[in-house]
Each structure stands twice: as structure tokens, then as C-alpha cells.
Structure 1
């Protein structure tokens, strides 16, 4: 899936902050990182704004979302096109990270 298609599908909205941006301020983020077996299919890609993608850095989406409750809330609301298996994996990892130790 091409970047422009991902942006249009997500209505040019960053799934992490919930804001709408022009295409030149957006990036594509992999929910399941490619280094962990994620692919380039539409169900593994979400729209992220530049600032959110920089804040996320090289962390997994779940690590980022566990550290940023507002981003987690937005992700749950706006990441509608992510494959259910990836959403489950993110939610499970977030739950593990937020569990008391």
C-alpha cells in the first residue's frame, strides 16, 4: 500500500495525537515493526505525524503507547484499519508494560 493511500484511508489523521495534517507532515508507521516480522500491508500501517513519530522513536508502538496514555487513547480510537492480530498484540504488550510489578 502506498503512503498516499494510507494517509487517505486514515483521513490524514495521526493515530497517536488524533490531529489532522497535510500529507507533507505525515509519515507511515508499522504497527508490527518490520524487524519483528511486520509487513507493508495496509493492516500493518498507520498514519503518524512527524512529531509523534519522532517521540515514538525506535520503540515499538506498544512501548510508546504504554508511556503515553493520551496516545493510547487516540490509537484505540483511530487505528481502525489495523489487522486484529496486531491490535491484540499491541494491547497485550501494553497491558504487560502497565501491570504492577
Structure 2
């Protein structure tokens, strides 16, 4: 069950990201989206809006528990989409992605 505060956070992130998966770049209806932690919680990430992005279920499953920079290191199309659409994430995450591939 989703806590009411979590639903509000989900809706804010989805709206901020225009209901678009930041990895594949495609728009989806809300029921086909999930929140993704750029830095996974199991790796020290938190639930702040600067660490959360909108992801479709397929991309979120592919990313799994990897940090975004590890997931995107060998995926130039997905990396370009992330850098284009994930504009509200913490600057340190953007730097880590760029440094992982020397972009």
C-alpha cells in the first residue's frame, strides 16, 4: 500500500518529468511509470526529489539496483535522454554520469 505522502511525491515527480521516462525518453500514462532512485537507497541514496526520477517499468527493471552512472556508462542513447530530461536531479549525480564516460 502506498502511503498518502508517497503518492503525492510520486505525482510531483511524474508531473515534474512530464510523465516521461528519463531513460528511454518516452512518455507513459502514470500507471506504467515508477519512481527510480538515481543513487539507490541500498547504496546510500535517499527519497529526496533531487535523487528521484520518473522511469518506465521496463527501464527501471533494467537499471535494477545500479546507480544511474553505472547503468548509463555503456548506454549512450539512454545517457543522452537522462541528461536531457532529468534536469531536476542533484548536480552531483549529473557530474558522476558525465565523469563515468568522460562526456
TM range (shorter): 0.7 to 0.9
TM-score, normalised with respect to structure 2: 0.84
How far 1:36 moved relative to its partner? 2.4
* Deviates most, 3-12 or 35-44: 35-44
SS of 1:67 mapped into structure 2: coil
SS of 1:29 mapped into structure 2: strand
Map of 1:1-101 to 2, 5 A cutoff? 2-95=9-102
Structure 2: 5+ residue stretches without partners:
1-5
CA RMSD of aligned residues (A): 1.7
Structure 1: 5+ residue stretches without partners:
none
